[in-house]
Structure 1
Amino acid sequence: MPIFLINYVHWVERWNKRIGRMAMYLLFVLMAVLLWGAIARAVWVPMRWTDQMGQFILAGYFMLGGAYALQMDSAVRMDVFYAAWSPRTKALVDTITIFALLFYLGVLLWGGIESTAYALEYGERKSGLWRPYMAPVKIVMCVGIVMMLLQCTVFLIRDIATLRGREI
């Protein structure tokens, strides 16, 4: 494999690992926000922002951690036949099926970019009493989708290398 592809693979995996590890700590932020909301609801006046902020944090946690979950092979896979296959057969099947995932993520990114552009242009807000802006969570969503797309291209490069008899 060309050295620039090997460098690309290492660069993408390094960044996805860093961002994924940072995203793991969003779970503690989510717990703190929801705990604050529960305490405030029981002791003082209910905080109107905690539920929606919890939804936003969970979306960020999910989207920014997606590429890291793919990288760590934590995604759900039907292993009825796959587990028994040789590494070369797995690479061949993965090389074919990755295009469905790339297409899906591409369409998702396209819709995410259009939705983000709308949110930025018109100052879109979530309905409710707090009415937070939607653009920040949509930007995080697009970043997470791009990270997953990059990780899928890394999978494709690794699988092609395996089919050629070279591991990266």
Structure 2
Amino acid sequence: MRPARRTSPRILIFASLAVAMAMRILPLPQGWAPWNPDWILLLLVYWAVAAPDRVGVGTAWLTGLLADALTGRLLGQQALAYSLVIYVGIRFHRRFQIYSMVQQVLAVVLLLGLGLLLILWTRHIRGAASAPEGYWFAALSGGLVWPFVCAVLDGLRRRFGAA
């Protein structure tokens, strides 16, 4: 058996966020669009919990600015939401790591819901009426895919000896 190749943790983090950005803009059928989780925020939460020394509020802010440009939203809208959610995630990362998977799923739903609430708040300030139908489904679907995201990224971290 050959030894695992060491990869820079930053490369793995950058590559996973690039994949998340691609998944964020992936077109889905009309009925499925509300269920598309915010993949970028989901991966930022993972990295903030798994490697808080590598992914912080600054990384979340810059990634949010890229996501704003990518999705055509008001510049800074997702940057604000991402940075505040990641601040909370980093603040509680030690507790998060000892949670059972069910507790982690609930925490992720709350964190993603906080992100959606902050985006809704910024939309409201701009004059948008209310949340579209199915707006909160993205937080629920993000929680449902959390165990798979953890399994895949934990496996990649072990395989490449990163983080």
Q: TM-score range by the shorter chain?
A: 0.3 to 0.5
TM-score between the two structures when normalised by the length of structure 1: 0.33
Provide TM-score, normalisation by structure 2.
0.33
